[in-house]
Amino acid sequence: MTTLFPRDKFNDISRPLPSHQLVVDEIATADIYALGVGAFAPLTGFMDEVTYDMVCHEMRLPNGLIWPVPVTLSVSELDACCLKEGMDILLKGIDHTLYAILHLTSIYRPNREQEADLVYGTHDPHHPGVKRLLQRGPVYLGGDLDVLHIPRFPLIDQPFMRVMTPSQVRSHIKSRGWQTVAGFQTRNPIHRAHEYIQKCALEIVDALFIHPLVGPTKADDVPSSVRIKTYEVLLEHYYPPDRVLFSVYYAAMRYAGPREAVFHALVRKNYGCTHFIVGRDHAGVGNYYGPYDAHKIFNRFSPKELGVTPLFFEQAFYCRRCDGMATSKTCPHAPEHHVYLSGTQVRTMLRKGEDLPKEFSRPEVAEILKHYYRG
């Protein structure tokens, strides 16, 4: 059951506020948003040291519930030097908005190289998740939050953005009478392979919840504003409107591969999903993870304790011999008949002004991407 913060704590700044303040970065602000709307339930704040250690080593909270990635507040040694456990601290965004009060219960200095190895499977500083981990402050603060304002961001205030909280999505699902809903997470523009696995999922569930991440990502990822346009043009022309729900998901991408796949599934459970689509190299980056490590990690947990059913899909491609989309499970033909491109190949072609193969991308999507890369 998702636990939301009491609504009367939002926007309540009439009471005396703590005198001590900290300015938090965009990662922490995104986490405050997710914590505040209940996307990270059952978490009610940033992890203390005991919780952090259990999550890193065992992928579980102290109460035994599955939780695969740390949600921590990092600060500098300078910021931490005058803090004491038991204090209340006002957390401000870089926009100077007062977002939350942290009831500080834990101050600790983690072994970040060990965290990198356990959570990301590597301590290579070139891994974007590890790089971000090492660049942030070396001191962690833990404690429950009172959220004063749900963070708003210029990006998700744009007209083309549709933002729904977990409670709003669950209410929508209930009003439509959907019993089974498959969630889909992506940080990339949707292409034909994505469309194929989404529609395969639609054959076995009542509805599809497309929930792309629009929070802090790598600098070379396609901007959220461009990605959202590709989703919307596909939804308008190629999906049944009475069986698909679309909303953006403001959260920081962690690039934690297999662990993040489980994390994404649990978050979508909070949004009311009964199923979650796990594709090839889910939440992966570079060559740090095996193509189906994100499938294998789910074997560590029983479906009952997960509370959400993973739907595993192999890499989809267009087969010229089959004359349609397929995977290695359904196509008998040799690789030379298959059309699939890496993200690097797609970006290279678009920067050169070349057309993407229609077997890889719908023309409407390709046109949006070409326009972006032409500048």
Active-site residue list: 187-188
Where would I find the beta strands (DSSP E) of 198-287? 207-210, 244-246, 275-278
* Alpha-carbon dihedral sign for residues 266, 272, 276, 282: negative
Distance CA 80, CA 77 (A): 5
Sign of the alpha-carbon dihedral angle for 69, 300, 186, 339: positive
Distances (CA, A) of 283 to 120, 149, 295: 11, 29, 11
**Token pair recorded at residue 71:** 């949600």
Closest C-alpha among 295, 297, 188, 202 to residue 240: 202
- Kindly give, in sequence order, each residue whose CB lies less than 8 Å from that of residue 80, ignoring residues fewer than 6 positions away: 107, 137, 139, 141
- At 317, list the tokens: 């491609």
